[in-house]
Structure 1
């Protein structure tokens, strides 16, 4: 079942503390190269072998922030107190704390504004939402976050999707969530997620880890790093098998990452590569009436996907003079995705029951040969279809950047100028096979494929080649007006050309170009040594994806992610973001107290939404919906002490439509024309207004540590309820706990329990057509409740062991 040039920049990617300590020695896209930001703290002394002491040193407050095109090679930086935006940072220790191969789990725990949900019905294919903007693996989701791995943009070429399952979690050195900065180019409407990977210079040693537990979960990982004089090598391998708590939701993950590096006094070079081959059963949303009878139920299956990736990145840095640094990067990425999706169908017997029609009983349903299909199905059979897609993308690109730190008018100054370019070629195919839906909601294929059918709906095979060419030039400057007051200004000019070439006919042909200059201005003021104020304004843009450009006509809805139709062009989305706040630290007798309080407002013009068809379930189209606004506050407090670490945060996100608009909807409150009326001030669905997070870790002894965390998420409107007329999806609170015991220097055992209270809740909700498929669990009667939700995992227990060398 379907659900739905730069002149930059501020250093708005301020980060929380990160230590250069060797991690192994502590127990505890569309690719496009653009400048990420990371923080470096003073190096902490490290001894060979893991430390068991509960008095393990906590990473100090970072002193500098670096801008670079790929891996962390630059050695000159800017004071972290000059970052003109909120600071969101998660290091390797926080990721390890989650004991999960999903990096998004650690991000949800640690970053106030982040929330994840399982639109696809699989925990390894989550939507990540930050401030109401989304980075999702689900085709057809309007993406609002840019995601980078070692400075390479990994939003995939065809739909800007983000496949979190392709990133080896054990190999991640740090993740920063960047706000208020156009430096990250296309798609960074709400910000960017910037992932930095480990290498042999910052990780030395070896670790083996294995874990198993509820729902058939078994996983393992291995990593190794070594430095020999100026050379270093690193590698990480991960594997996982999970049966899932719902029917047909098995997951298999296999992925590898490696890096080879060379470093001298004035230069550093890295060659890193990765491969992954992952398979998922995605059970998607389920009608609440089925869920009440069976918490593991699914509705229309199979829904499987297979993601494969291979990539090669080369980065280099040369300190040309004491004040000039030149950095360059090049990348190559191959991506393939295959899906099979069982669904209800618009195909039905005609008035003449020996023939098949589409949408009604007199419009012919045609086969691939163009002739009307004879009805081979038994009377009373429930018809469905298996929709299959294949997406293959190849991307190449590179960047060049120069940084100067000469003084300007006797004041400290940092100037960065550069350019980036990438080109992607994608081949997308789709087909539909008719079948029947059995009592288990499994669609059994008949071997009969649908051709062009319906009027105005067009169903049939698709073969489309697309080319994306993304480029940008950028510059940034941060100038110290005084020792306490600094200003940052600049911008980025983005250009995007998207060419669509229909491989069957000409209906999908198109050539679209989008250009925009995005400015930024901001400043910071150090009120006291322990208190800093910041404020900034920036803009960012998102070009429509090839998928969206091929499905933008309400009169010709598509099976989202499967079938495309020649449609009118869409406008690019532009965000206007203002952000301000305070942050500080305070040394107490018990440890270091850190805190931050900030507010933001992001207004999108010509926002793009996925609109469900009011006529056919599973169909939809993309449409500019005028202006929308996301605004809110974020507050966080942390305490870092030798034996205790605490955190608590609150995020308020108010997301609303600003313009009146009538759009198609599958809401039970739609009018006779199948539309709902959006009024200015209506809340945007699927964006909860309140998020509260808290957690702690405590060392009971030098070897035994315990911890827990809690998450509260307020209610949200169902997707499709843009008029805000239906009851909301209920709020939920979930508690988790974990513990570890260090047996000796090398061996640690650990355990965790998720959803301690076994709370039954859902993270996402939408609507479905209640008369498409009978409620077999209720004797074949018609469904009466149009709500369909994505249930969260019940209580689960996991345990494992880690061995370090």
Structure 2
């Protein structure tokens, strides 16, 4: 399906590019786009016509910032001064500035609370962590962020994972990180990421961009948009990336397409947009620290690959049924396929004393084949056994959302009322298998063609064939009432209903039905102290239902390979987050430019939080467990100073994430007790969440044609995953710097370049533990590993250069 759709999409995109060479390339914020946005007054210094040139006046054109939940929501307020939460926003210029076809880079540079960790060992499959909540492409990661593309929730159905690589970056018009709003539905514990795409009404012209550089990187993108008459518009974007990777076996190949056809009349607007992507990755994951000391590009137990394909189509509409009533709607369908293979050490070993047979987990429990009979041992004596775990996930998701917005005055005061509903239904077919093999001295696992059947006592491995259905229904209402011209109150809430059904296609042990219901309220207010200073405060709740993956792997006595082998399990409780947020934001105009700033604090307390617990014995095995209450709180400060020829931005975020309850959990930490457990005490920090993030960046126009800039990032130390008891040394802090420059040759052509990790700092963004006894340290003469740390190394210094043409 994915290849055929992508082929058609590629032809269509090529035709769009050829047809649009006579248009003028520009991003326009002045046109109304397909979804009703929030309007924010962005200060801009200018001189009013008719005034003396020495007399200055601040002109504040309207900048449209979209913030909408599951429907194309017109949000809680008309403008940012009425949003009772922090506002984090990047536009297409911020994305272009990174020189990257990865929207995560722009979010990290521009949002104080965002941190990126390279969990999978591939830059296009990284985790985004915001305020201690994670949006990850790695199955088995408890997800705390909801992500929307053009108003459609794109957390994949089976594990709520977020495949950032499937979003065509060149086609992104803006991305907002929205907090303190339950209207975004499930998973918005820490917030939601709103991604809005371009269309032919807001983008005109043709742009072709080609870049290459270190580690075999070559990437290109082409986009074209045109308005046809006053009613029709067409937009298309096509992009591709190849990167060989700096680590062994870590190439990336990305192909993505996005297109939109729009029609508008008399204030009404309809859009049909579609997209397709086919991406392949070598996901090299963490590697023992001792191997990194030998070679920074080392890998451990390969192959580890992932292949993602998606095709989707959305129909959106906005209709002004009266001067004060607007109806918005979306109908959508998404087809997602993922194939993974992951080599691991295995619990399979020759039986004791009968080495002619294979056992699993110990020397006496039979390791069975697919036919249920115990496997004979075909491997030579002394072989290091491993297994290649493969999974296939096919998910089809369809749904709709409808929303009505009213702007009539209430009791003579300004008022904005929003009511909406959404329904999403998904069917997933999931399969998994485990092929036995031998691990060579290069840590590459060679398959034998022998597949494990149900094995273990209790059974913890075996083939899986599962059909999972999700039905998510939401009903929400929000109202913003202007008590005075300066003071506004927002109140409302959302009711979520999640129904999840598991149907075992091999036996019956995975069968189960779960239902989760909850109403999540919001209350908040804003007060405009002066024309350039606003205070805000709010409280909200949100919930996350356990995913089918988590429901199928929640028994400590029967651990499973995360995202691969599911077993019969006890039910999990839903996670509920209670968030308080308050702060100030403002603007200040000076003779040389404008300062935009914000300062805020938050506290989010989760009840019945879910944690992925590693099995203390079997490498790669684990389970999901409710771990009581956790708390994430902190402070975020940002400043952006803009002048005519330069700009400077800086931010600081403090994130304090802790467990609030006492409990004992399984762990692969070297400090685990004889039963493989560690004791969590109230106040222990949650691993993988650095407490401090400092960011800075500048841009300077030396001439009208030549521009230079740079960025700096500091991330403090963090506990390794698995160290919930906070006993092991932390992953060290790191600082990384980058430079970029561009030169506009003429109105058509621009050359540009960038240097990442300027000082070639060797650091890791993520760490965990591994079993040091399962595979020898071949780099050290086959001796046993002595350091249990397993890390994700960051990319060394890299150089890139590109050419951009606009017509």
TM-score range, shorter chain: over 0.9
Q: Distance in 1 between matches of 2:39 and 2:406?
A: 19
RMSD of the alignment, in Å?
2.1
1:23 Cα deviation from its structure 2 partner: 9.9
Q: Distance in 2 between matches of 1:126 and 1:63?
A: 30
- Number of the residue aligned with 2:221: 221
The Cα of 1:667 is off from its aligned counterpart by 0.1
Distance change in 2, residues 1:26/1:706 (3 Å): farther
CA distance 1:456–1:74, change in 2 (3 Å): closer
Query: Cα 1:617–1:290, aligned 2, differ >3 Å: closer, same or farther?
Result: same
- What is the TM-score normalised by the length of structure 1? 0.93
Which residue of 652, 659, 665 maps to 2:661? 659
| 2:402 counterpart residue number | 400
Distance 1:604 1:337 in 2: 31
What residue in structure 2 maps to residue 348 of structure 1?
A: 349
Inter-CA distance 246–575: structure 2 relative to 1 (3 Å threshold): same
Correspondence list, 1:135-284, <5 A: 135-229=135-229, 230-284=231-285
- Could you tell me which runs of 5 or more consecutive residues in structure 2 were left unpaired when the two chains were aligned: 1-22, 30-34, 46-56
1:123 aligns with 2:100: no
Aligned to 1:107: 107
Q: CA separation in 1, counterparts of 2:284 and 2:588?
A: 48
- Rounded to whole Å, the distance in 1 between the matches of 2:80 and 2:114 is 22
Q: Residue 329 of structure 1 aligns with which residue? A: 330
Normalised TM-score (structure 2) = 0.93
Q: Are residues 60 and 236 of structure 1, via their aligned partners in 2, closer, same or farther at CA, if it must alter by over 3 Å?
A: farther
Query: 1:729-761: per-residue Cα shift (whole Å, max 9, x none)?
Result: 000000000000000000000000000000000
CA deviation map 1:23-72 (0-9, x unaligned): 932799xxxxxx99644568999xxxxxxxxxxx9995757766656897
Question: Quick check: 2:71–2:420 contact (8 Å CA) kept in 1?
Answer: no
Q: Helix, strand or coil for the counterpart of 2:93? A: helix
Q: Distance in 2 between matches of 1:137 and 1:758?
A: 27
Runs (5+) with no aligned partner, structure 1: 1-21, 29-34, 46-56
**Residues 446-499 of structure 1, C-alpha deviation per residue, up to 9 Å, x if partnerless?**
000000111024211000000000001111100000011000000000000000
Q: Distance in 1 between matches of 2:245 and 2:659?
A: 37
Q: Deviations over 1:347-388 (max 9, x none)?
A: 000111101001111111000011110000000000000000
Partner of 1:555: 557
1:495 to 1:400, Cα distance in 2 relative to 1, 3 A:
same
- Output the CA distance in 2 between the equivalents of 1:796 and 1:197: 29
The equivalent of 2:455 in structure 1 is 453
SS in 2 for 1:454: coil
Asked if the contact 1:343/1:387 (under 8 Å) is kept, the reply is yes
User: What is the aligned partner in structure 1 of residue 793 from structure 2?
Assistant: 791
Moved over 2 A (4+): 22-28, 35-45, 57-77
Say whether the 8 Å CA contact 1:698–1:706 is kept in structure 2. Answer: yes
Q: Distance in 1 between matches of 2:668 and 2:36?
A: 40
Q: Decide which of 708, 718, 729 is 1:727's aligned counterpart.
A: 729
2:432 maps to what in 1? 430
Equivalent in the alignment of 2:600: 598
Give me the whole-angstrom Cα distance separating, in 2, the residues matched to 1:59 and 1:168: 34
Determine the structure 2 residue equivalent to 1:571: 573
Q: 1:67 to 1:240 in 2, by over 3 A?
A: closer
State the Cα distance separating 1:328 from its structure 2 match.
1.1
Q: Match of 1:165, SS?
A: helix
Indicate the residue corresponding to 1:486 in structure 2.
488
1:557/1:23 CA distance change after superposition, 3 Å:
farther
Cα separation, partners in 2 of 1:67 and 1:650, compared to 1, 3 Å: closer
Q: Take 1:418 and 1:212, find their aligned partners in 2: how far apart are those partners?
A: 46
Tell me, in whole angstroms, the C-alpha distance in 1 between the residues paired with 2:540 and 2:171: 32
Partner Cα distance (1:354, 1:445) in 2: 19
> Which residue of structure 2 lines up, in the alignment, with residue 89 of structure 1?
89
Q: Deviations over 1:9-30 (max 9, x none)?
A: xxxxxxxxxxxxx9932799xx
CA contact (8 A) 2:71 2:329 kept: no
Distance in 2 (alpha carbons) for counterparts of 1:705 and 1:184: 39
Is the contact made by 1:304 and 1:340 (CA closer than 8 Å) also made in structure 2? yes
Q: Are the structure 2 counterparts of residues 318 and 76 from structure 1 closer, same or farther at C-alpha, using a change threshold of 3 Å? A: farther
Alpha-carbon contact 2:71-2:152 (below 8 Å) kept: no
Counterpart position of 1:7: none
Between the aligned partners of 2:65 and 2:639, the Cα distance in structure 1 is 21
Matches within 5 A, 1:324-723: 324-351=325-352, 352-723=354-725
Aligned-partner Cα distance in 2 for 1:490–1:400: 17
Question: Does the Cα contact within 8 Å between 1:69 and 1:329 map onto a contact in 2?
Answer: no
Equivalent position SS for 1:292: helix
Q: Work out the CA distance in 1 between the residues paired with 2:662 and 2:151.
A: 39
Ranked by relative contact order (alpha carbons within 8 Å, sequence separation 6 or more), the top structure is: 1
Counterpart contact for 1:69–1:401, Cα < 8 Å: no
How big is the shift at 1:317?
1.1
The total of aligned residue pairs comes to: 768
Q: 1:802 to 1:65 in 2, by over 3 A?
A: closer
Secondary structure (helix, strand or coil) at the match of 2:123 reads coil
